[in-house]
Amino acid sequence: MIVSRFAPSPTGYLHLGNARTAIFSYLFARHHGGKFILRIEDTDKERSSKEFEEMLLKDLEWLGIEWDELYRQSERFDIYREYVQKLLESGWAYPCICTPEELEEERKRAEEKGIPYRYSGKCRHLTLEEAKRKGLPYTIRFRVPEGEVITFEDLVKGPISISADDFGDFVIVRSDGTPVYNFVVVVDDALMGVSHVIRGEDHIPNTPKQILIYRALGFEIPKFAHLPVILGPDRSKLSKRHGAVSVKNYREEGFLPEAMFNYLCLLGWSPPEEGREIYSKEELIKIFDLKDINSSPAVFDVQKLRWMNGVYIREVLSIDKLANYLAPFLREAGYEFEEAYLKKVLEKARDAFETFSEAVEKLKPFFVDEVVYSEEAKAVLENQTAVQVLNYVLLKLEEGELNAQRIKEIAKLAQRELGIKPKDFWHTLRASLTGELEGVGVDVICDVVPKERIIKRIRRVLTVF
């Protein structure tokens, strides 16, 4: 059975790179009808927090990633102790009483010689009983076979070989008794039946260490797939200097989970159908294959993400779903509205924005009672022509209903009867109804906003200016 997992640490918000890893692992498991596990790696007591864990779960749920099982490493310490004991008894692990100062001295000597640091192995002869008798703090180290080259077939990168001499005996339990990542990840993956470990390429140096532990404990070694890094537009590793890098930032800015899921899939993975970019989650599950992951880095382009988000808003989502997503953003901005009215607005103006935070500003003319006039709008409204235009519109609005077609008819009549240019009519009306000279079409506003509110705004301009 195919089993994949996503194993984040709750030490910060979900980064876009980690979100992509979660998506790829999820898609791989679902494509093969397998199991997808979420494991919270919270053994770092100082940096892990419940707040980050809750936000992590919220972001994954927002993206539409469902897990079959959920584990927390902090609840599995008894299991880890059992397997540490097995390694000690079999001779694969030993206690180390070297102090931080002694280890730092070793590092300095290696630096002076210009060679990579690896532990000298001075405590290799020590037994657990001897370490306890000395009454000194001790770590537990894994005994690495000298001179061995560990080779594995990476499903993305191809064959990789790393010499054990490059890293030497490494710590698997800290002096405070807490187990270290490279050890617990092996125990967890083995006991949870993980068949494929899909993670970032920054974990490649950890893989040979983990393979040695798998062998020492008699566990079956899973297949590994290491994903390329995500770069910023300047082709350096994606970081905060490139703007928002956490899923939370984009969620709060009003990006759609469907668009984010779709876009992150295309960072480093090539779908079989060339030229197509918009896919539902269900479609991605059907076609996702690890062999289509590129081994070279992917470049994150926020403008491309905005474009894709706009496509989902304009063409993919139903009005009902779009309204459900957008409503909280509008209400947070203080707008009051009925659900039916919001849907009417979206039917006419869903092409006016690419994110929901942008929609709050772009759709303001549909929801506010009084508009705020920009300096450019004031300059238009203070002109004598504006008074003519607005009085003429008020006169015509006394007759019948107001809609897009009717306001266009009034515009033509005004041009002919008042002798004004089309630009003067539309700029005046836009400035009076929105307070700006750009934005959603005036005909669209007149098609949706109730006539009495249109009249109220025009009369206010005639009073103020």
Active site residues: 240
Q: Do the Cβ atoms of 74 and 44 come closer than 8 Å?
A: no
The Cα–Cα gap between 100 and 379 comes to 71
* 135 CA to centre of own chain: 48
> Which of 325, 279, 268 shows the shortest CA–CA distance to 301?
268
Q: What is the 3-class SS of 373-401, one letter each residue?
A: CCHHHHHHHCCHHHHHHHHHHHHHHCCCC
Distance between CA atoms of residues 218 and 140, nearest Å: 19
3-class DSSP assignment, residue 36: strand
464: Cα separation from own chain's centroid:
47
* Distance (Å, whole) CA 166 – CA 458: 77
How many other C-beta atoms can be found within 10 angstroms of the C-beta atom of residue 32? 17
Q: Give the contacts of 461 (CB within 8 A, at least 6 positions apart).
A: 381, 386, 390, 431, 432
CA distance 338 to 34: 44
**Pick from 110, 96, 118, 8: nearest CA to 60:** 8
Instruction: Yes or no: say if 397 and 451 are a contact pair by the CB < 8 Å rule.
Output: yes
- Estimate the crossing angle of helix 16-31 against helix 50-63, to 10 degrees: 50
